[in-house]
Structure 1
Amino acid sequence: MTENTQPPATGRHAAPADLPTQYTPADVEGKLYERWVERGYFTADAKSAKEPYTIVIPPPNVTGSLHLGHAFEHTLIDALTRRKRMQGYETLWQPGMDHAGIATQNVVERELAKEGKSRHDLGREAFVERVWQWKAESGGQISGQMRRLGDGVDWSRERFTMDEGLSRAVGTIFKRLYEDGLIYRAERIINWCPRCLTALSDIEVEYQDDDGELVSIRYGEGEDSLVVATTRAETMLGDTAVAVHPDDARYAHLVGRTVRLPLTDREIPVVADTHVDPEFGTGAVKVTPAHDPNDFEIGRRHGLPQLTVMDERGNITVHGPFQGLDRFEARSAVVAALRAEGRIVAEKRPYTHAVGHCSRCKTTVEPRVSLQWWVKVAPLAKAAGDAVRDGRVTIHPKEMSSRYFEWVDNLHDWCISRQLWWGHRIPVWYGPDGEVVCVGPDEEPPSGEGWHQDTDVLDTWFSSGLWPFSTLGWPERTESVEKFYPNSVLVTGYDILFFWVARMMMFGLYAMDGVPPFRTIALHGMVRDQFGKKMSKSFGNAVNPLDWMDAYGSDAVRFTLARGANPGVDVPIGEDWVQASRNFANKIWNATRFALLNGATVEGPLPAPEELSATDRWILSRLNSVVAETDAHYDDYQFAKLSDALFHFAWDEVFDWYVELSKTTFAAGGRPAEVSRRVLGEVLDVTLRLLHPVIPFVTEELWTTLTGGESVVIADWPADSGFRDQDAEREIEAVQRLVTEVRRFRADQGLQPGQRVPASLDLADSGLAAHEEAVRSLLRLQPAGDGFTATATLPVAGVTVALDLSGAIDVAAERKRLTKDLAAAEKELAGTNAKLGNEAFLAKAPDHVVDKIRTRRATAEADIARITAQLARLP
């Protein structure tokens, strides 16, 4: 059943067609962005009566610069907030940066090293002042790059994790957690960087395959001996046990007894522990509780001593021949000494295995028992899991929920202290008689002889975990907290679902009376190169997005990224795709300019349906369908699908079909031309508004020129009026099939695109008679005059097209060419049939080879059918 409802009306006035002949992004983007900021379009008003829509920027490191991953994520967030702003929400995209403790400290320390100094030469207070000076002068270059990309953030609210307000929030929540027994100090095993001299979070450790050695060592004597294998022979100096599986019969007689530890005078016990895999290696493992996380847990279960055999710089501290050696020097020395004692059973070199490295300085990380501050995460993590399970928070795509639960349900206590000088200093004071006092932001610290503050600072993730509410003025219940918390959605990569998202969930629920920090977690994948490989400077495939912006414009980069953004899936991207997006921006520019030059207008209401041609009704019907489709994709965070839908509608349907079909109407003039010019103006107006959130710059320039409006940034988001005309859609689809098939036939016959040929069209029974002039124009078909002889006929879409090609092509030459092509296709078919009919070949050939030959055969068969048809149609 055909639905015909009134199309939308508008009362805008068109502006003159004063666009340059060519679109040059550099001439447009900078001035438009500064105009948007100056006019306050991105400024959020906490007093507004509008419904709020809030997104926080995942705070980039103050040391950083805009990489392609930033550009990708920012494009998605900006598209969401621009659309919501156009829909009438009070929109806040909260910007800011993270102080990035270890990264920033390393940067400044490298600068000091150029002067021949270290931080210790300056002292803590002077060094911290030097870091603040560096931030003021060199930090935060990413802000300028965000402007280049078009980020519609509220710059008046820009925050920094170490500014006064956020520091107050950090001190407040530390005090609360401490008093609730959720923060404590204890010795545990942690990741330690011997170069940066600090504990590291898991995210600050990068694992890579290194070539090392696997050495098998015999502990004990004779039948009572065991063989253990290790890649870190130097740690055997700290062994306090050998562990075997409780059910391993090979070692049952040794459990509870001791064996002598080689190179030492110590006897160590043999313990039974289910952590040991009896199928791996010899089924016996050395246990070094102070230098391995798994061994640490075994040690706790069995009450084993923890012997630290290295200092904080990775040098051996055990008295004897290895004392003072670097850990790697000691490794070789220990192996040599074991070999001399006849303790080496086997050696494997190279032995490739995953080794953790400090993400900042690339030093090999050393597991180490250390006295640190910890968050007791069990009750916090349970709350974070419950908020998703009970539907208060939705994870999108939903398949990622299982990964979230796997993490929050198995969280270990979180080490929050760092042995750095740059960061939020732990607000705990120690007294001369062992007193420990936690001091809140509004409290005076204890003073007097012997009192001193803890020297450690907090993990950067501690402060960034407060981001959704600390940026709004918490712990005070500010207007902004009341208006913009919780956030509407968090858009972030799945790679930091545990490191950042889980921490925000725990802190938000704890600090904000059980209200989660956001309603939806929309996860995206990682940007990769066009071959699907991770982008990295070391791989030589990293891309500076500013280079692509300079070459093709920010809109092209944004559209390319959005068009590849499927929820939770990695995004491959190559420069040729950015070029294609630049071509799309140019197409929009040129088509809009053509429309304006030919009188397209938004002035006055749309004409009544009875005045609209089938072509007009078709494009308005399709326009409303695309509005509805775009809304559905936005609500489902399907950026790739919405971008693709808008691309094909704008390029294929509006520019390649509606504009072309309307040219004859424009040329004829009169009321039909006025109607189509108004329809074209409406279609361009809505299409530009739909495209704006993803490609804001070119759409702003075109929309303001077309409509004379102030800015598309604050224009109304298009609404689906409900207008549909299925009859018109079927009619124009028939026209499209007719034109497409005849164009294909012309190409097959070797006709040039602009070459005109006589033809007769029998449109009487097709219902397409009204389109004859447009069809002839599109197909370069002249009327059939005197002397017309139909040398080829083509039945398409209920229309018979008869063409006189007698003077258009060299029939003999064309027949010769096609006959040659047919012979080649038949030869290819014979060859592939022979191979596929050879049982011996099929038995030996790999599947992918056989599949390739089958594809070649199918192509040859299709070519034969096509060429045979072409020969039959020749006069």
Structure 2
Amino acid sequence: MTENTQQPTNGHHSAPADLPTQYTPAEVEERLYERWVDRGYFETDAKREDGGEKEPFAIVIPPPNVYGNLHVGHALEHTLIDAVTRRKRMQGYDTLWQPGMDHAGIATQNAIERQLASEGKSRHDVGREAFVERVWQWKATSGGQIAGQMRRLGDGVAWSRDRFTMDEGLSRAVQTMFKRLYDDELIYRAERIINWCPRCLTAISDIEVEYQDDDGELVSLRYGDGEDSVIVATTRAETMLGDTAVAVHPDDERYAHLIGRRIALPLTDRTIPVVADEHVDPEFGTGAVKVTPAHDPNDFEIGRRHGLPQLTVMDEHAVITVHGPFQGLDRLEARSAVVAALRAEGRVVDEKRPYRHSVGHCSRCGTTIEPRLSMQWWVRVGPLAKAAGDAVRDGRVAIHPKEMSSRYFEWVDNMHDWCISRQLWWGHRIPVWYGPDGEVVCVGPDQEAPSGPGWHQDEDVLDTWFSSGLWPFSTLGWPERTESLERFYPNSVMVTGYDILFFWVVRMMMFGLYAMDGVEPFRVIALHGMVRDQFGKKMSRSFGNVVDPLQWMDSYGADAVRFTLARGANPGVDIPVGEDWVQASRNFANKVWNATRFALLNGATIEGPLPDPAEQSAADRWILSRLNSVIAEVDGHYEDYQFAKLSDALFHFAWDEVFDWYVELSKTVFTAGGRPAEVARRVLGEVLDVTLRLLHPVIPFVTEELWTTLTGGESLVVAAWPADSGFRDPAAEREIAGVRQLVTEVRRFRADQGLQPGQRVPARLELTDPGLAAHEEAIRALLRLTAPGDGFSVTATLPVPGATVALDLSGVIDVAAERRRLTKDLAAAEKELAQTSAKLANEGFLAKAPDHVVDKIRTRRSTAEADITRIRTQLDRLPT
């Protein structure tokens, strides 16, 4: 435990006066963070003090949006990553936490377009080159403010290595990757159905589609006439203008006579075939579905299987482009108009309105997504996804928690080709040129692009996820074989949310294995959950329950926010959080502060070795034994990414055992003085030194301020992580456990009798256990028990294991009033028991009442039974 302990630079601890009476985060955090950065603590350093080489540890930051602000999800993720990297740095690793930001194509372009709109302009008014230049100017002056917010949280990133997905080096990596995939025929261009945003005017990825329940309509329509008719249902009636077939299941006898025949499509002069396709569920609806291959992904696949025409009936703005009466109408206007026209022809069989169903919306602007047939660039993911699956299956990459592995496999084993082109101006432009005679040339970063009459570059840019998929190696200098790449690839671990397991983690796996000759991008994937409100509800601006961590940091300090989030972070599980919990974490930071001030005021020291166990009291040996157990426990939780468990272990050890018990037990020793006091001061200094080290990765600011004052050391950031010395003393642990049990029992009795914590009570202690007898002075001090004097009268007796406590409560409480109060409470509890028991004995009630109501009654009955037992015990203990 004491090995590798950084010794104070000045040979003694600072004076207690160096610590203010109260901890004020605003006066500490910025000063400490700037000192850490100025001294280069977060930068990589391969050399040990003895001249050897440190083992590397690398982790990348999930790149935040250059346009965004620090939200509570960032605060959680960055806290966990920072805790991991701070501990590894203290353990002596050459630690790299790689920072950087994502260019966020759609969000950033939308922001600049809003600026132009406020000036009465569009991007087309200024042109592509000027628009991109304007984005760069915005980034230089206003973008990336999240970096400053990360500093407020305490992120220990290597700022000198900061990267941006659009900087020169990463742009070279993107172009190299595109060229290699293209040459290996893993990138191609084709017409497919994509998610289209009519507002942003671009294809968007699956992760940028947010589904929500909307009120719409479900209209059942009759196609054809007489025996040659079928009924289909749709929520998007306007798409029937692009229908090219009706599909039924091949084994559905209801429609066997129609398969292969053509039926009339209402409102048009076209007929469409009835096709048999096993995709159709004969049990759903009428068992017949309309097929619009150009406007629905499932219909597109049916169309491909049956060679159906693909009729596009909407433009990029979701405006109808066909059929005179509807041409020029927005899709929603056309929906009403088409239904009205069908109703007029007697084609509407049924209408359900409102019909609530799940609808995709653009996460950037909220517009309803339109599935659309479009010519786009795609990644052929088959071999890439297989390699990503194999890396986890064969154990080269571990997923925490393990149960998330099945979700990972479900995705990679069934992954569809990835649409990587976006119809934007801000982003990595696709490095493909087209010639006047149909030539198509993909250009690498070291090749000259073709030029001359008729040559032009593809207008689209790449999906933002393409560049961020290269993050673990592009940030290290790839495609060049840099020293950083050789040292820090593969990364040690990826800590990220389970919600982007499919969209980012899988892409990094695919690209890393492909670009780095089969070497995985990281060895561990540690997944955390999403932060929810205190009631477990998803945060949403529409619900009004979104938390701003910056406001919480203003009010309670960064440590309080960090500790709250870490203490709730069970692997892969969502985290409810409320302001009350942040206040509680602030109280914990204050407790750490006050306990350290107490230690300094009472001469706690870290000078010299620990006294021999023979000189230590049972309390000293107990706390040192417990300290080593906690070191081992916390180490185990870190290795398993159990942040909630390690935080909880540290909280209870620090607050309950060190501050509430060891400090209190030491007070009588300090008062008595002599060699036992010297030993206790050294033990207290050791325990605080190690406890602050253990707490530092999670709450770095308050621990840094306290530790440097206590020890005179340079900084906790570069101090040694505590090692478990192996010292255990089960006998001392049992002895102090007995003291704690006795004190707790008597304190409970005092509280039941309404005694104030500081109120002194005469008592006689019969301590038959020698382990308790050795602590009589401390027990009396903790319980505010005075020695029995003249006229001492036993009015209450408490038998506890190894002892009997006889109390004289005469003159301390009004026994008659207390008996009346307890008798009244007993009557109320007995009435509650009778009422709840009667309900639970009523078979009619049990048969009709919902389960949660019955459970509530059972809980009330159990509470009443416990109250009756407690009150009767209190009455029995009252003097007669």
Are 1:323 and 2:327 counterparts?
Answer: yes
Are 1:237 and 2:241 counterparts?
Answer: yes
Are 1:626 and 2:625 counterparts?
Answer: no
C-alpha distance in 1 between matches for 2:284 and 2:766:
81
TM-superposed deviation, 1:769: 1.8
The residue that corresponds to 1:847 in the other structure is: 851
TM-superposed deviation, 1:813: 2.1
Identify which range, 363-372 or 388-397, moves more after superposition.
363-372
Report if the CA contact (8 A) 1:7-1:609 is conserved: no
Please report the TM-score for the alignment, with normalisation by the length of structure 2: 0.97
C-alpha distance in 1 between matches for 2:449 and 2:844:
87
After superposition, the Cα gap between the structure-2 partners of 1:627 and 1:261, relative to the gap in structure 1 and judged at 3 Å, is same
After superposition, the Cα gap between the structure-2 partners of 1:746 and 1:508, relative to the gap in structure 1 and judged at 3 Å, is same
C-alpha distance in 2 between matches for 1:348 and 1:633:
54
How big is each residue's C-alpha offset from its partner over 1:257-295, in whole Å with a ceiling of 9 and x where there is no partner?
111111111111110001111111111111111111000
C-alpha distance in 2 between matches for 1:7 and 1:455:
62
The residue that corresponds to 1:41 in the other structure is: 41
C-alpha distance in 1 between matches for 2:358 and 2:849:
37
Tell me the SS of whatever aligns to 2:518: coil
Are 1:31 and 2:31 counterparts?
Answer: yes
The residue that corresponds to 2:720 in the other structure is: 716
C-alpha distance in 1 between matches for 2:425 and 2:2:
68
The residue that corresponds to 1:121 in the other structure is: 125
What does residue range 123-202 of structure 1 map to in structure 2 within 5 Å? 123-202=127-206
TM-superposed deviation, 1:15: 2.3
After superposition, the Cα gap between the structure-2 partners of 1:189 and 1:8, relative to the gap in structure 1 and judged at 3 Å, is closer
Tell me the SS of whatever aligns to 1:518: coil
TM-superposed deviation, 1:791: 2.2
The residue that corresponds to 2:365 in the other structure is: 361
TM-superposed deviation, 1:10: 7.9
CA RMSD of aligned residues (A): 1.4
Are 1:858 and 2:857 counterparts?
Answer: no
C-alpha distance in 2 between matches for 1:733 and 1:874:
28
What does residue range 206-225 of structure 1 map to in structure 2 within 5 Å? 206-225=210-229
The residue that corresponds to 1:681 in the other structure is: 685
The residue that corresponds to 2:507 in the other structure is: 503
TM-superposed deviation, 1:104: 0.6
| Letter aligned with residue 397 of structure 1 | P
C-alpha distance in 2 between matches for 1:837 and 1:191:
59
Q: Which runs of 5 or more residues in structure 2 are unaligned?
A: none
Report if the CA contact (8 A) 1:492-1:523 is conserved: yes
How big is each residue's C-alpha offset from its partner over 1:163-197, in whole Å with a ceiling of 9 and x where there is no partner?
00000000111111110110111111111112211
TM-superposed deviation, 1:27: 0.3
C-alpha distance in 2 between matches for 1:361 and 1:757:
69
Identify which range, 767-776 or 239-248, moves more after superposition.
767-776
What does residue range 454-473 of structure 1 map to in structure 2 within 5 Å? 454-473=458-477
How big is each residue's C-alpha offset from its partner over 1:679-726, in whole Å with a ceiling of 9 and x where there is no partner?
000000000000000000000000000000000111100110000000
Select which of 576, 581, 584 maps to 1:580.
584
What does residue range 533-612 of structure 1 map to in structure 2 within 5 Å? 533-612=537-616
The residue that corresponds to 1:287 in the other structure is: 291
Are 1:100 and 2:104 counterparts?
Answer: yes
C-alpha distance in 1 between matches for 2:800 and 2:858:
32
The residue that corresponds to 1:14 in the other structure is: 13
Are 1:732 and 2:736 counterparts?
Answer: yes
What does residue range 215-364 of structure 1 map to in structure 2 within 5 Å? 215-364=219-368
How big is each residue's C-alpha offset from its partner over 1:27-66, in whole Å with a ceiling of 9 and x where there is no partner?
0000000000000000114677211111101001111000
After superposition, the Cα gap between the structure-2 partners of 1:211 and 1:820, relative to the gap in structure 1 and judged at 3 Å, is closer
| Letter aligned with residue 34 of structure 1 | E
C-alpha distance in 1 between matches for 2:47 and 2:784:
62
How big is each residue's C-alpha offset from its partner over 1:97-118, in whole Å with a ceiling of 9 and x where there is no partner?
0001111110000000000011
TM-superposed deviation, 1:319: 4.4
After superposition, the Cα gap between the structure-2 partners of 1:749 and 1:311, relative to the gap in structure 1 and judged at 3 Å, is closer
TM-superposed deviation, 1:387: 0.3
The residue that corresponds to 2:751 in the other structure is: 747
C-alpha distance in 2 between matches for 1:498 and 1:622:
42
After superposition, the Cα gap between the structure-2 partners of 1:538 and 1:840, relative to the gap in structure 1 and judged at 3 Å, is closer
The residue that corresponds to 1:450 in the other structure is: 454
The residue that corresponds to 1:775 in the other structure is: 779
The residue that corresponds to 2:827 in the other structure is: 823
C-alpha distance in 1 between matches for 2:461 and 2:6:
59
Tell me the SS of whatever aligns to 1:63: coil
Tell me the SS of whatever aligns to 1:617: helix
C-alpha distance in 2 between matches for 1:163 and 1:750:
68
Identify which range, 9-18 or 250-259, moves more after superposition.
9-18
Report if the CA contact (8 A) 1:372-1:415 is conserved: yes
C-alpha distance in 2 between matches for 1:750 and 1:368:
73
What does residue range 759-770 of structure 1 map to in structure 2 within 5 Å? 759-770=763-774
| Letter aligned with residue 852 of structure 1 | K
C-alpha distance in 2 between matches for 1:290 and 1:501:
31
After superposition, the Cα gap between the structure-2 partners of 1:652 and 1:342, relative to the gap in structure 1 and judged at 3 Å, is same
Select which of 69, 72, 95 maps to 2:73.
69
How big is each residue's C-alpha offset from its partner over 1:636-686, in whole Å with a ceiling of 9 and x where there is no partner?
100000000000000000000000011000000000000000000000000
After superposition, the Cα gap between the structure-2 partners of 1:194 and 1:850, relative to the gap in structure 1 and judged at 3 Å, is closer
TM-superposed deviation, 1:854: 2.5
Tell me the SS of whatever aligns to 2:322: coil
Are 1:661 and 2:660 counterparts?
Answer: no
Are 1:412 and 2:416 counterparts?
Answer: yes
C-alpha distance in 1 between matches for 2:584 and 2:280:
56
The residue that corresponds to 1:642 in the other structure is: 646
TM-superposed deviation, 1:6: 10
Are 1:615 and 2:614 counterparts?
Answer: no
| Letter aligned with residue 250 of structure 2 | P
C-alpha distance in 2 between matches for 1:450 and 1:215:
49
| Letter aligned with residue 31 of structure 2 | K
Tell me the SS of whatever aligns to 2:526: strand
After superposition, the Cα gap between the structure-2 partners of 1:337 and 1:835, relative to the gap in structure 1 and judged at 3 Å, is closer
| Letter aligned with residue 15 of structure 1 | S
C-alpha distance in 2 between matches for 1:170 and 1:834:
73
After superposition, the Cα gap between the structure-2 partners of 1:235 and 1:484, relative to the gap in structure 1 and judged at 3 Å, is same
Q: Give the aligned length.
A: 871
C-alpha distance in 2 between matches for 1:139 and 1:517:
29
TM-superposed deviation, 1:149: 0.3
| Letter aligned with residue 21 of structure 1 | T
Report if the CA contact (8 A) 2:7-2:713 is conserved: no
TM-superposed deviation, 1:494: 0.6
Are 1:386 and 2:376 counterparts?
Answer: no
Identify which range, 342-351 or 478-487, moves more after superposition.
342-351
TM-superposed deviation, 1:320: 2.2
Report if the CA contact (8 A) 1:6-1:608 is conserved: no
After superposition, the Cα gap between the structure-2 partners of 1:372 and 1:845, relative to the gap in structure 1 and judged at 3 Å, is closer
C-alpha distance in 1 between matches for 2:455 and 2:495:
45
Report if the CA contact (8 A) 2:400-2:526 is conserved: yes
Tell me the SS of whatever aligns to 2:793: coil
| Letter aligned with residue 26 of structure 2 | A
How big is each residue's C-alpha offset from its partner over 1:618-640, in whole Å with a ceiling of 9 and x where there is no partner?
00000000000000001010000
| Letter aligned with residue 812 of structure 1 | A
The residue that corresponds to 1:703 in the other structure is: 707
Tell me the SS of whatever aligns to 1:220: strand
Tell me the SS of whatever aligns to 2:493: strand
C-alpha distance in 1 between matches for 2:683 and 2:4:
10
How big is each residue's C-alpha offset from its partner over 1:208-264, in whole Å with a ceiling of 9 and x where there is no partner?
112111111111110111111111111111111110000000001110111111111
Tell me the SS of whatever aligns to 1:346: strand
Tell me the SS of whatever aligns to 1:225: strand
| Letter aligned with residue 139 of structure 1 | G
C-alpha distance in 1 between matches for 2:672 and 2:89:
41
TM-superposed deviation, 1:535: 0.8
